A = this chain, B = another copy of it.
Amino acid sequence: MAGVVETIAFGQHNVRASQIFFRSSLSYGLVNLMPLVPGHVLVISQRRVARFRDLTPPEVSDLWTSAQRIGEVVERHYKGDALTMAIQDGAAAGQTVSHVHIHVIPRRRGDFARNDEVYERLDMDKDRTKRTEEEMAEEAALLARYFDDGNTNSTDGATSP
């Protein structure tokens, strides 16, 4: 119909079909209203759910295999050296749109270097104070207890709850 603009729901927002550059069976790829750097795009689940835990296994698989393909494209197209892929899963993690979305961000050496502090904190692999083996084993054993079911094997070091 003339004058009708096709839109899809992205949380509380309506996104025009013209922003969609990728469709799979369960996901969309969207260009971003406010890109952090050129090529910063979003991958969303077609079903509107707020949290990553709300997705079914097929939705998780489709979302991330889509992000994998999209990441390859934006890295190549925007001449990046790397990618940051992130989900802000809940308001306290910075999520403002209540609809699962992956940020796929092409990265280049030094792109955030103007502000060294920021760069350091974005570096989740950066050296910080190292813990002891014992501390780590203790935490691993503690967490392993949550996974004592038919689907996974707990580690040798873990004790049953």
Chain A positions near chain B (C-beta within 8 angstroms): 6, 16-24, 29-36, 40-41, 52-53, 55, 57, 60-61, 63-65, 68-69, 71-74, 77, 80-97, 103, 105, 107-112, 115, 117-118, 121-131, 133, 136-137, 139-144, 146-147, 151-158
Contacts and interface: CB of A to CB of B under 8 A. Distances in A.
B82 A140 contact: no
Given A24-B152, A86-B86, A93 B115 contact: no
A112 B121 contact: yes
A108 B91 CA distance: 9
Contacts of A153: 23
B81 A90 contact: yes
Given A88-B123, A118-B117, A130-B34, A140 B20 contact: yes
Nearest to A81: B92
Contact of A60 (B65, B81, B128, B140): B65
Contacts of A103: 124
A37 to B, nearest CB: 11
A127 to B, nearest CB: 7
Contact of A92 (B33, B107, B139): B107
